[in-house]
Amino acid sequence: MKKRACLFALLPLFVLCCCGCEGIFGGIYDKPVRSSEYGFIEINDDNSGTIHIDATSYARWTYIRLKGKTTDTSNVLKGEMAPAEWDFALHRYDVRTNGGSAFETECVSLEQLREQGVPATALFIPDTLSRVAIDMSGMMDGNILYDTCLLNPVLSRWMDVNTSTMPPVYTMSGRPYILRLADGSRAALHFTGFTDASGAKGYITIRYIYPF
């Protein structure tokens, strides 16, 4: 996966640079400004709103249920399971669906997407089996614990982390995505931020329209 390419090759350089950079993974050396506002922090009358997620932990998945406007979490290192009902979930910058599929639009905002609608030729891609890091505590010794799970390759494109340079370069796609849920309903998702007020990474802001 591109997000984690070159990690082991860059470990010696990381050791030399970690004192002066934000860290190869945001949140390790950043100094976060804690927020008590997580979950669905804005719900509007036009089916739109804003979700704020603390995705700083590598061991934690955050599950979002659009239908009930709720969020829940599980810690994979503690063996915690996913909740009974959820629509999509975040692990750091990785995204998976609950039996859904996704399409990347060419729009730059939800407002533009609402005007143009979903193309009739839109190809929705389901989740695929992937690997994610769930424990980075042994990173400096080259000992990283991974888990195998389903991820959605389209939704996970919202963020590209290029670790071929120090510090890494974080680039958001800027594109809204269409999530087709397992029941056939659709949601529009636009990832608009990944830092808190101090610039610490892993705090994700998502604007949504559901149903779309």
Based on the structure, what is the number of domains in the chain? 1
Q: What percent of the chain has a predicted confidence (pLDDT) above 90?
A: 80
- Enumerate the β-bridge partners of residue 94: 91
Opening angle at CA 72, ends 55 and 208, nearest 5: 70
Both structure tokens of 204: 């994700």
CA distance readout (Å), 102 to 18, 137, 176, 180? 36, 33, 11, 6
CA distance readout (Å), 15 to 31, 140, 151, 200? 19, 8, 30, 20
The pLDDT tens digits for 95-114 are 999 999 999 999 999 999 99
Is 204 within 8 Å of 52 (Cβ atoms)? yes
The pLDDT tens digits for 44-62 are 999 999 999 999 999 999 9
Quote the CA–CA distance of 49 and 122 in Å, as a whole number.
24
What are the E-state strand segments in 39-185?
39-43, 48-54, 60-65, 70-75, 88-91, 94-97, 101-104, 125-126, 128-138, 143-151, 159-162, 169-172, 177-180
Question: How much is the pTM?
Answer: 0.83
The pLDDT tens digits for 72-87 are 999 999 999 999 999 9
Q: What number of CA atoms fall less than 13 Å from residue 39's CA on the CB side? A: 9
Flag whether pLDDT at 14 surpasses 70: no
Q: Quote the mean pLDDT of the chain.
A: 87
Instruction: Specify the length of the chain in residues.
Output: 212
Domain carrying residue 14: 2-209
CA Rg, the chain, in Å? 17
What does DSSP assign to residue 84? S
Flag whether pLDDT at 28 surpasses 50: no
The answer for residues whose C-beta is within 8 angstroms of residue 101's C-beta and 6 or more apart is 124, 125, 126, 127, 152, 154, 179, 180
